[in-house]
């Protein structure tokens, strides 16, 4: 891949959107069109065979790119080049290239073929991330960790619940992504104005056969300027990338030296620094968060070009290929990066417990308040705990000790209750039930 794209895609997706791959997809459309038309008796079988003999290596991508700027689409120079390739071997067959189709039919259908392959790549990495999170959640079902609200310590949760929450979000949005792909992966075949008039009354028949030949769905009608299904797919990519970004943000914060509760996998050349040998940087998180910063703008741009004129757009359709390529590749980078991160994530339960203890027990102020509230009233109990927390901070004492010196507390809470006050396992509510509910939707 080009060096400038090295932090914007993965090797499989870079190959998928390469010149060769795009040429193969456009050629696949033209070959499939010729084959179904030959079977239907619309063009000679000899012509279809001559068209099918072409290969992607027959084309000069650089020349086609140059000519595309003059034609306003890669399809026109591609069809012209294909016609000449066929003519060189069978002059009569050349006249049947691209029979009854229009340039946007080639471009959009080729894009669908590429996106069909992209779905497999994206799903595979998302499933890798899900499997890793399922394992982490089970392994750390009872590992206590600080809950953090507004980046400040809160009552404890379990790392198992945290991982299950991440898992649930990926699963929900992978399902939406699959649905969006299913709706978007449709044939484009409408001819000049979307009526298939060049094929007479056999247009729908050919369209249905062509869709089967290409492994795409045949829509109710051509969709040249109706980009809603493709837009929904781009939005689904945007949401899924945001979900992955939330996980990356959490992990990168937990990796900070002052916190040090988890760490990304380490390997030669991964996560180091050019000047600081001690560094173990959150590289997977960095790549994912970079993706999150790029995707929303591209999705927004795609939505802005949905307003396309009449039966063929002026500029809108021409703007789509780079956006779709960018969104898919960036989403794929985020998925692959987080899959690698989660599969090798190191979790430190001892450090998690130490960080809980370092709060001097003040994170259990809510628990103490709820124990006192039935007798004192919530407002009085709240003020009492505010005073206790202030003393903890000023006197560097633990909450249990401060409360033990307060007569208003000791007359209501015995020493055994106070001794258990700061036990995180005693204040997890229904954390494990919630974790189980989230994991119940996971299908390995």
Helices (H), 155-227: 159-184, 203-214
- Return d(Cα 188, Cα 116) in angstroms, integer: 14
Burial of 327 (0-12, 13-18, 19+ CB in 10 A): buried
Neighbours of 278 (CB within 10 A): 7
Contact 254, 344 (CB under 8 A): no
The answer to whether residue 300 is catalytic is no
Q: Which of 135, 172, 270, 312 is catalytic?
A: 312
Neighbours of 97 (CB within 10 A): 23
Q: Which of 273, 304, 415, 440 is catalytic?
A: 273
- Return d(Cα 3, Cα 253) in angstroms, integer: 29
- Return d(Cα 192, Cα 209) in angstroms, integer: 19
Among residues 149, 308, 293, the alpha carbon closest in space to that of 226 is found at 308
The answer to whether residue 193 is catalytic is no
Helix axes 283-304, 228-254, angle to 10 degrees: 160
- Return d(Cα 336, Cα 14) in angstroms, integer: 13
- Return d(Cα 334, Cα 341) in angstroms, integer: 10
Per DSSP (E only), the strands in 102-193 are: 144-149, 152-158
Residues with a catalytic annotation lie at 273, 312
């Amino acid at each position: 891949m080009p060096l400038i794209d090295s932090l914007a895609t993965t090797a499989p997706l870079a190959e998928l959107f390469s010149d060769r791959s795009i040429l193969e997809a456009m050629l696949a459309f033209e070959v499939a069109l010729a084959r179904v038309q030959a079977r239907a008796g619309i063009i000679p079988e000899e012509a279809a065979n001559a068209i099918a003999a072409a290969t992607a290596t027959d084309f000069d991508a650089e020349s086609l790119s140059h000519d595309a700027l003059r034609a306003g689409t890669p399809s026109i120079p591609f069809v012209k080049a294909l016609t000449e390739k066929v003519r060189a071997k069978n002059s009569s067959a050349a006249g049947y290239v691209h029979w009854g189709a229009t340039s946007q039919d080639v471009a959009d259908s080729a894009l669908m073929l590429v996106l069909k392959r992209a779905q497999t790549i994206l799903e595979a990495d998302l499933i890798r991330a899900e499997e890793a999170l399922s394992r982490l959640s089970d392994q750390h079902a009872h590992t206590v960790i600080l809950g953090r609200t507004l980046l400040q310590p809160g009552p404890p949760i379990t790392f198992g619940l945290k991982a299950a929450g991440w898992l649930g979000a990926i699963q929900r949005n992978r399902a939406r992504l699959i649905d969006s792909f299913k709706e978007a992966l449709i044939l484009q075949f409408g001819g000049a104005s979307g009526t298939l008039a060049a094929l007479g009354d056999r247009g729908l028949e050919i369209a249905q056969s062509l869709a089967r030949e290409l492994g795409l769905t045949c829509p109710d009608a051509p969709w040249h300027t109706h980009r809603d299904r493709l837009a929904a797919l781009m939005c689904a990519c945007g949401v899924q990338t945001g979900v992955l970004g939330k996980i990356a943000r959490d992990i990168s914060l937990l990796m900070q030296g002052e916190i040090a509760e988890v760490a990304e996998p380490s390997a030669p050349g991964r996560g180091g620094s050019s000047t600081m040998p001690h560094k173990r940087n959150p590289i997977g998180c960095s790549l994912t968060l970079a993706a999150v910063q790029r995707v929303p703008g591209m999705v927004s741009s795609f939505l802005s070009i949905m307003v396309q004129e009449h039966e063929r757009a002026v500029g809108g359709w021409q703007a789509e290929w780079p956006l779709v390529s960018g969104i898919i590749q960036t989403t794929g980078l985020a998925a692959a990066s987080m899959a690698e991160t989660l599969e090798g994530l190191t979790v430190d339960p001892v450090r998690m417990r130490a960080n809980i203890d370092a709060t001097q027990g003040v994170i259990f102020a809510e628990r103490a308040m709820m124990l006192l509230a039935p007798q004192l009233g919530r407002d009085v109990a709240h003020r009492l705990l505010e005073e206790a927390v202030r003393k903890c901070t000023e006197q560097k004492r633990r909450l249990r000790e401060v409360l033990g010196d307060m007569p208003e507390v000791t007359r209501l809470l015995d020493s055994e209750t106070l001794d258990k006050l700061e036990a995180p396992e005693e204040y997890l509510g229904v954390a494990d039930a919630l974790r189980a509910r989230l994991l119940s939707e996971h299908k390995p």
